[in-house]
Chains A and B, each alone.
Chain A
Amino acid sequence: ETGVTQTPRHLVMGMTNKKSLKCEQHLGHNAMYWYKQSAKKPLELMFVYSLEERVENNSVPSRFSPECPNSSHLFLHLHTLQPEDSALYLCASSLQTGPYEQYFGPGTRLTVT
């Protein structure tokens, strides 16, 4: 399963650190997504990009900053996180935004200490 890849797979960071999550899709898709998965909210949409333009920001705190330099790559820049931000962060892509299958990456397990 190499359609959507994410790095790193695991990340431990302190509340004052700055780190970035990377997602790459090799499917020729035009839409990419960031989701947060936790016990409280199993699949919570954070950001949607269509053709490298952000089309949805689901009221996410500014300590999460997305970047989409091209249709194949998506980043999530993290700074001054809180312990409650610890979760699995999933990237997904689809042909376009709309009624299309979303292909998920394996996720990054983030722990904020």
Chain B
Amino acid sequence: GENVEQHPSTLSVQEGDSAVIKCTYSDSASNYFPWYKQELGKRPQLIIDIRSNVGEKKDQRIAVTLNKTAKHFSLHITETQPEDSAVYFCAASEVAAGAQKLVFGQGTRLTINP
């Protein structure tokens, strides 16, 4: 089955700097890679996703890159702000028993220091 590894587990950056979180996956058949943000005490929410036919996607200060050959994808946050502090989860799709499901990474706790 699919295995997703996420690094680092914790990340601390100064406000205004950039943050990068990296994930690797094992199943070359995976074709969908979302990123979720979970603020303290709140539910996970999708912030950006990318499909396997695209190499990069941007949405304002957030971007995701995908390298299918190397089977890794990354989240880039530029000009970080205090409200970016949260736990971020990457995920990769996996088809099992005829249904496509998501396999999540272990999460990265991002802290933005003012």
Contact = CB atoms under 8 A, between A and B. Distances in A.
Interface of A: 1, 33, 41-45, 48, 50, 55-56, 90, 97-99, 101-102, 104-107
Contacts of A33: 101
A56 B45 CA distance: 22
B86 to A, nearest CB: 13
A55 B43 contact: no
Interface string B79-100: 0000000010101010011111
Contacts of B51: 99
Contact of B99 (A44, A50, A101, A105): A50
Interface in B62-114: 87, 89, 91, 93, 96-104, 106-107
B107 A42 contact: yes
A44 B106 CA distance: 10
Contacts of B91: 43
Interface of B is mostly: strand
Secondary structure class of chain A's binding surface, majority of residues: loop
13 contacts: A1-B43, A42-B106, A45-B103, A55-B98, A56-B99, A97-B99, A97-B100, A98-B32, A98-B99, A99-B49, A99-B93, A102-B102, A104-B43
B54 interface: no
B106 A55 contact: no
Interface string B22-53: 00000000011010000000111110010100
A83 B101 CA distance: 28
| Chain B CB within 10 A, most for which of A55, A99, A107 | A99
A22 to B, nearest CB: 16
Given A55-B97, A101-B34, A43 B46 contact: no
A98 B49 CA distance: 13
Given A44-B104, A90-B43, A104-B43, 20 more contacts: A33-B101, A42-B87, A42-B107, A43-B44, A43-B91, A43-B104, A43-B107, A45-B103, A45-B104, A50-B99, A55-B99, A56-B96, A56-B97, A56-B101, A97-B100, A102-B46, A102-B102, A104-B45, A106-B43, A107-B43
Nearest to A55: B99
